[in-house]
Amino acid sequence: MAACGDAVYRLALCRLGSRADAEDVFQEVFLRLLRDTTAFEDEEHLKAWLLRVTANRCSDLRRTAWFRHTAPLEALPDAAAPEREDYTALWQAVAALPARLRVPVYLHYVEGYGTEEISQITGCRSATVRTRLHRARKQLKQILEGDNDETWKPIGGFAEHEGSGET
């Protein structure tokens, strides 16, 4: 349960960018688990169900008018990032990605899910997941190697790409 709880919290934090919102989603997901009577075959099925419910709840929250008109007070923390300092630039670059690219990167490289599993969690087709992972790797390479002529900077827990208006 502890491993599942950490994964639920990190996914919510990755999707929402706010610790308070991530904690709210975390509580709602586990309350739903307590109310649900589904029997899971093993811990991996339970974890996949929890992550799917988390992704759905985060999407629901992001669609609310309240969420669209507020900004998180803290910068996106590196909760899922390794402790080593040599990964700092990498995790800052990942945080600079738009959410549609950042979430598949998180699920694939941190949680270890394959593209088919990510497609089930996010509700996207597996081809879309593969495309997003490819685009994310390409953008990360540009950011980390300095081949990017434009400036990337984190804003309020999310990143904004100057010049394109893309978040």
Report pLDDT digits (tens) over 34-64.
888 777 888 888 888 899 899 888 888 877 7
Return the C-alpha torsion angle 34, 37, 39, 42, nearest 10.
Answer: -20
In a domain, 74, yes or no: no
Task: Report how many domains make up the chain.
Answer: 2
Distances (CA, A) of 158 to 51, 52, 61, 76, 116: 21, 22, 16, 7, 26
Please indicate, yes or no, whether residues 8 and 53 belong to a single structural domain of this protein: yes
Report pLDDT digits (tens) over 74-115.
444 454 544 555 677 788 888 888 888 988 998 888 888 889
Q: What is the mean pLDDT of residues 21-45?
A: 86
In a domain, 44, yes or no: yes
Is 0.75 topped by the overall pTM? no
Please indicate, yes or no, whether residues 48 and 115 belong to a single structural domain of this protein: no
Please indicate, yes or no, whether residues 89 and 153 belong to a single structural domain of this protein: yes
Cα 105 from Cα 58, distance rounded (Å)? 17
| CATH number for position 116 | 1.10.10.10
